[in-house]
């Protein structure tokens, strides 16, 4: 399996359920093309510790999947198959 295409910066890969990565800046409607940006994009690394918050203020620790190989691919494939990612599975 390979993933191709260009990211449309929807931010869907930066959520776990209702929890959003602390570094995801939403400038429009979450999930829509060009609506988000990662505030630490050029500083990310595999398994970088992050905090995730839900709309009610609950916080949990997580790890950034940037360049995490199979874990990142699994998340992207899940989003692609649900029609929530601009990338393509090949």
pLDDT value at position 69? 84
Separation between Cα atoms, residue 54 and residue 46, nearest integer Å: 23
> What is the structure's pLDDT at 61?
98
43-70 pLDDT per residue, tens: 999 899 999 999 999 999 999 998 888 8
Distance separating alpha carbons of residues 19 and 7, to the nearest angstrom? 21
- State CA 6 to chain mean position distance: 14
Beta bridge partners of 1: none
């Amino acid at each position: 399996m390979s993933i191709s295409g260009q990211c449309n910066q929807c931010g869907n890969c930066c959520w776990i359920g209702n929890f959003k990565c602390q570094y995801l800046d939403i400038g429009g409607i979450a999930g829509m093309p060009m609506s988000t940006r990662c505030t630490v994009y050029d500083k990310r690394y595999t398994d970088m510790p992050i905090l995730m918050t839900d709309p009610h203020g609950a916080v949990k620790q997580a790890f950034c999947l940037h360049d995490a190989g199979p874990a990142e691919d699994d998340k992207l494939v899940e989003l692609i198959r649900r029609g929530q990612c601009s990338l393509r599975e090949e």
